Amino acid sequence: SWTMPNYIDEAVAKIRQQVGSDEVILGLSGGVDSSVAAALIHRAIGNQLTCVFVDHGLLRYKEAEMVMDMFARNLGVNVIHVDASGEFMRKLAGVTDPEQKRKIIGAEFVEVFQQEAGKRQNARWLAQGTIYPDVIESAGAKTNKAHAIKSHHNVGGLPETLNLSLLEPLRDLFKDEVRQLGVALGLPREMVYRHPFPGPGLGVRILGEVKREYADLLRRADHIFIEELRNTVDAEGVSWYDNTSQAFAVFLPVKSVGVMGDGRTYEYVVALRAVVTSDFMTAHWAELPYSLLGRVSNRIINEVRGINRVVYDVSGKPPATIEWE
């Protein structure tokens, strides 16, 4: 009968058979799919796997450290950590159009990944965390209108010039199965059940021009929001993080007035967004407790110098989208 340990044994055997003694490279994003793929492939072939983790400077709070701790230090996976944030920031300077920002981030990502992958002369395989819904989605992409609206640029974007064969060990799995597999492989539950995070990261959560200063403020505000969501439970004892499908902060590059002592301050605004959805095509704004919202607001304003106003987004999708850009 079907059990997770059997499944892992079979998947491991299949990967070993497929790649033999070849080297494999994988783009690790910190997301669930690429993380589970990395853990599974590492279980199968150990040191024959090298992961490339590209930090575009638009990741969540301490995300790079988290990825390096989990994979390099705890699991002993080879991970090349590329801090490309300077290059991404230069390319994004002066760019305000959301689709343009997505294109730049996506293209630069492929560029940096290719550069690193190109150094691995012996690599024969490119591993990806493609899951079953991705397979379906790309088959239907031409007719899928929602898809055409935004260029959903994920870490994928196969660098064809690398001339590598594709290794996609999660191709038959649904998201929930990928999560179960991740837990069975020893990845931390909080990581495996994380909310989705867009490929362009904070790049589409900073409205208009992306600046490092904005990203730093946003990261800290977002982290406070997520921390409070994780630490606050509802009447059934379920955390508000687990009660919501996606939650994050958005940086608004406008300054509004505040008071501090006898003086006025003019500082930035942060919007909080939390939604409940089953398919991300439609979504309700989450009815978070006022006390929770109040705590998040106080903490952000007190702890993040440069932000003096916090608002909560009460728009449904449609007509509003989940992201602000």
The three-state secondary structure class of 286 is coil
Cβ closest to ligand XMP, residue 111 vs residue 323 = 323
Calpha distance 296→125 (Å, rounded): 45
Q: Would you count residue 196 as binding ligand XMP (CB under 6 A)?
A: yes
As a whole number of angstroms, the distance between CA 176 and CA 220 comes to: 30
Residues 206-240 as b/e (b if ≥16 CB within 10 A, e otherwise) read bbbebeeebbebbbbbbbbbbebbeebeeeeeeeb
Residue recorded with tokens 């033999």: 20
Cis peptide before 98 (omega within 30 of 0): no
Footprint (CB under 6 A) of ligand XMP, residues 98-127: 102
Query: Cβ of residue 122: shortest distance to ligand XMP, in angstroms?
Result: 30
Using CB under 6 A as the criterion, what x/- string covers residues 121-160 for binding ligand XMP?
-----------------------------x-xxx------
What's the rounded Cα separation, in Å, for the pair 213 and 191? 27
Pick the stretch among 81-89, 180-188, 199-207, 226-234 that binds ligand XMP (CB under 6 A).
199-207
Helix (H) or strand (E) holding 308: strand 307-312
- Min dist CB 240 to ligand XMP, Å, is 18
CB closer to ligand XMP out of 29 and 48: 29
The reply, when asked if residue 29 is annotated as ligand binding, is: yes
Annotated binding residue 140: no
Least spacing, CB of residue 99 vs ligand XMP, in Å? 9
CB 74 within 8 A of CB 65: no
322 binds ligand XMP (CB under 6 A): yes
95 binds ligand XMP (CB under 6 A): no
CB of 113: closest distance to ligand XMP in angstroms? Answer: 15
Residues 29-88 that bind ligand XMP (CB under 6 A): none
Q: Give the residue carrying structure tokens 């064969």.
A: 165
Q: Is 31 annotated as a binding residue?
A: yes
In the complex with ligand XMP, the residue whose CB is nearer, 43 or 317, is 317
Identity of the residue, 150 or 295, whose beta carbon is nearer to ligand XMP in the bound complex: 150
Three state DSSP letters for 59-127:
CCCCHHHHHHHHHHHHCCCEEEEEECHHHHHHHHCCCCCHHHHHHHHHHHHHHHHHHHHHHCCCEEEEE
The reply, when asked if residue 291 is annotated as ligand binding, is no
# residues near ligand XMP by CB under 6 A: 16
**Beta strand extents in 208-306 (DSSP E only):** 246-260, 263-276, 284-285
Question: Please, are residues 251 and 225 in contact by the beta-carbon 8 Å criterion?
Answer: no
Which one of residues 29, 113, 200, 205 is an interface residue with ligand XMP (CB under 6 A)?
A: 200
Cβ(105)–Cβ(200) below 8 Å = yes
Binding site for ligand XMP (CB under 6 A): 102, 150, 152-154, 196, 198-200, 204, 246, 280, 317, 321-323
Annotated binding site for ATP: 29-35
